[in-house]
């Protein structure tokens, strides 16, 4: 999947991920030089540190070692200016194909735009007038996905990192997987789980 632009930041991480961290674009969350989403900026380093502490990364850096985690952007092309609504719409096909190919159990949208997109397209919840401070680290059931919004790390203040770490640790201690047993539709008594 190559987008129609010269410089872009492709998805990165475990193709069988349980967790999919979704950002806006490289101009906000970084990665244009490293080629890895959520790198090269102080807010991205803060997010990576929280994900290491929560157990979703084994190590941080420009080539982080992930654990059951995939990272990508809604708009993967590098742009000197804010992408237009038409540009986001044109790139939606790439993001949606990637999201469905990874088929993670938990979506972790970072920031307002990613959270609005995920809530509007992958849950029954309205994305109107989001309060990211309230949604940060909260579990929202979606259509086939569990969604845990993350406030923009550039705006984190007091305890946002700790709240995120606690929420992700609590989530991992539960059966967060979004699977269905289709074994009842095939011969035999063995379960057949699909995401």
| 10-residue averages of pLDDT along the chain (195 residues) | 88 95 96 96 96 97 96 94 93 94 94 94 80 91 88 92 96 77 64 57
pLDDT per residue over 85-126, tens digit each? 999 999 999 999 999 999 899 999 999 999 999 999 888 777
Domain coordinates in residue numbering, the chain: 12-194
**Rounded Cα gap, residues 23 and 76, in angstroms:** 9
Q: Identify which of 97, 21, 98, 93 has the alpha carbon closest to the alpha carbon of residue 52.
A: 21
Q: What are phi and psi of 32, to 5 degrees?
A: -65, -35
- Counting residues of the chain whose pLDDT is more than 70, the rounded percentage is 92
Q: Which option is the CATH number for 12-194: 3.30.540.10, 3.40.47.10, 3.40.470.10, 3.30.365.10?
A: 3.40.470.10
């Amino acid at each position: 999947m190559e987008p129609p632009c010269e410089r872009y930041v492709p998805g990165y991480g475990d193709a069988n991920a349980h967790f999919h961290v979704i950002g806006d674009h490289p101009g906000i969350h970084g990665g244009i030089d490293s080629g890895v989403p959520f790198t090269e900026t102080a807010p991205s380093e803060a997010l990576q540190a929280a994900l290491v502490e929560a157990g979703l990364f084994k190590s941080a850096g420009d080539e982080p070692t992930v654990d059951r985690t995939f990272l990508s952007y809604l708009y993967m092309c590098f742009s000197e200016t804010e992408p237009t609504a038409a540009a986001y719409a044109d790139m939606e096909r790439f993001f949606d194909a990637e999201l469905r190919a990874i088929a993670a159990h938990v979506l972790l949208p970072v920031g307002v735009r990613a959270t609005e997109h995920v809530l509007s397209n992958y849950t029954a919840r309205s994305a109107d007038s989001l309060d990211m401070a309230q949604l940060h680290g909260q579990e929202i059931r979606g259509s086939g996905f569990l969604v845990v919004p993350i406030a923009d790390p550039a705006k984190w203040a007091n305890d946002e990192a700790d709240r995120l770490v606690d929420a992700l640790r609590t989530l991992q201690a539960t059966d967060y997987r979004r699977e269905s047993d289709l074994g009842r539709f095939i011969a035999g008594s063995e379960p057949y789980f699909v995401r």
